[in-house]
Amino acid sequence: MSAIINDIEIIKSESSKINDVDFENLKFGSVFSDHMLECNYKDGKWELPKVVPFAPITLDPSAKIFHYGQSVFEGMKAYKDSNDDVWLFRPLENFKRLNISSKRLAIPELPESYFMEGLKALLEVDKDWIPKQDGSSLYIRPFVFASGSGFHASPADEYKFIIATAPSGSYFSGKIKVLIEQKYSRSANGGVGFAKAGGNYAGQFYPTQLAIDKGYQQVIWTDDTNHEYIEEAGAMNIFIRINDTLITGPTSDRILDGITRKSIIELAKSKGIPVEVRKISVHEVVEAAKNGSLKEMFGAGTAAVVSPISGFGFQDKDYELPEIESTYADFIKKSITDIQTNKSEDPFGWRYKL
């Protein structure tokens, strides 16, 4: 879909909240920049996006988002380098995935220029909100939801596309301990697991809380048929190192096609790390933990970047991962964040200058 935008209207906030923010101690996604991008779908088309002050929105109580959960989102980051240049990481991948998600949820797809030009206009206005501190970035949350009203269980006739941003620090502090899920499922064949649909996350909260109550931070989702194969880790894809080989499951109807995941696969291969994209069974991981060939497990995603796992629980037993000197997780995290923050060459052409 193409659409040309010449000028994006910008309505500036009367005052800035930036001086209230402690940029040295940022949490993840809890303070929001002064502006947001807003774009409405009405009468069968997307209207021009506008940059407006970040503020609450008013919706009819019968808006279909509340009843039927028509909502999709994305997660991206903007980084500022030492020269104050601003960089995004593979933003077109996020745009494409947002439309893939929208299509599955019967939400009208967005024109690329509304997403890209809108995002650029927003980041230009809120440039001062992009942190420079190591490990911090401006987390960007594009989302689309059904604002149209009515109790009829059918797609809405009106939608909102918003991009809100939040200067953020790391998502997890330290290593995480995970529980391999054997009862609940995150997604099913033919379902919406591959989409970044809000409801996928709501469905995870209860089983994740049960895992937290047992002392874990995350659930490792397994296939919905027999809970036999490892799929994802909460809001991350998962990588498993057995001896020197890095393994991750293939994407499917049930798994989000993570941008960090596919970047890691390419990066690791280019650095000579043996990578296998194949189904990996819980049995294989448990056996590898028992015989000492399981060296590392880590989650990967935009918010969490690369998040090392300290151990996992399975069938009431805990398995610890070994403490090793130079880990793939550290090496990959550094390589990828150096590319993202313009500290190293970008042989893949992933970095996108604003």
Site of interaction with ligand PLP (CB under 6 A):
75, 232, 235-237, 256, 258-261, 301-302
- How many residues sit in the footprint of ligand COI (CB under 6 A)? 6
Q: Which of 197, 285, 303, 309 binds ligand COI (CB under 6 A)?
A: 303
35-42 vs 45-46, strand pairing mode: antiparallel
The verdict on 98 binding ligand COI (CB under 6 A) reads: no
Nearer to ligand COI, 162 or 235 (CB): 235
Closest residue to ligand COI in the complex (CB): 75
159-168 vs 71-73, strand pairing mode: unpaired
Nearer to ligand PLP, 288 or 305 (CB): 305
Burial of 284 from C-beta contacts in 10 A (0-12 / 13-18 / 19+): middle
| Residue 258 interface partner, choices ligand COI, ligand PLP, none, CB cut-off 5-8 Å depending on type | ligand PLP
The verdict on 91 binding ligand COI (CB under 6 A) reads: no
Stretch that binds ligand COI, among 64-72, 187-195, 301-309, 338-346 (CB under 6 A): 301-309
The verdict on 51 binding ligand COI (CB under 6 A) reads: no
Say if residues 178 and 56 touch (Cβ distance below 8 Å).
no
Which residues ranging from 167 to 196 are in contact with ligand COI (CB under 6 A)? none
Stretch that binds ligand COI, among 12-20, 44-52, 269-277, 299-307 (CB under 6 A): 299-307
Nearer to ligand PLP, 66 or 73 (CB): 73
The verdict on 144 binding ligand COI (CB under 6 A) reads: no
Identify the residue whose tokens are 């037993």: 317
Window 219-238: contact mask with ligand COI (x via CB under 6 A)? ----------------x---
The torsion angles phi and psi of 35, rounded to 5 degrees, stand at: -125, 165
- Residue 120 to residue 76: CA distance in whole angstroms: 13
Taking the complex as a whole, how short is the minimal distance between the CB of residue 205 and ligand COI, in angstroms? 11
- Residue 213 to residue 269: CA distance in whole angstroms: 38
* Token representation of residue 194: 């591959």
How far from 308 is each of 126, 165, 286, 293, 324, CA to CA, in Å?
Answer: 32, 26, 17, 17, 12
Nearer to ligand COI, 301 or 308 (CB): 301
Say if residues 249 and 191 touch (Cβ distance below 8 Å).
no
| Residue 147 interface partner, choices ligand COI, ligand PLP, none, CB cut-off 5-8 Å depending on type | none
Instruction: Please work out, in degrees rounded to the nearest 5, the angle formed at the alpha carbon of residue 188 by the alpha carbons of 200 and 304.
Output: 40
Stretch that binds ligand COI, among 184-192, 209-217, 284-292, 295-303 (CB under 6 A): 295-303
* Nearest one of 4, 43, 35 to 17, comparing CA atoms: 35
Taking the complex as a whole, how short is the minimal distance between the CB of residue 175 and ligand PLP, in angstroms? 18
Window 57-76: contact mask with ligand COI (x via CB under 6 A)? ------------------x-
The one-letter code for the residue type at 324 is: I
The verdict on 332 binding ligand COI (CB under 6 A) reads: no
Nearer to ligand COI, 63 or 304 (CB): 304
Burial of 275 from C-beta contacts in 10 A (0-12 / 13-18 / 19+): middle
* Nearest one of 241, 215, 218 to 171, comparing CA atoms: 218
Nearer to ligand COI, 166 or 285 (CB): 166
- Residue 266 to residue 227: CA distance in whole angstroms: 28
Contacts of 291 (CB under 8 A, 6+ apart): none
Taking the complex as a whole, how short is the minimal distance between the CB of residue 205 and ligand PLP, in angstroms? 13
Say if residues 166 and 71 touch (Cβ distance below 8 Å).
no
Residues that bind ligand COI (CB under 6 A): 75, 201, 235, 301-303
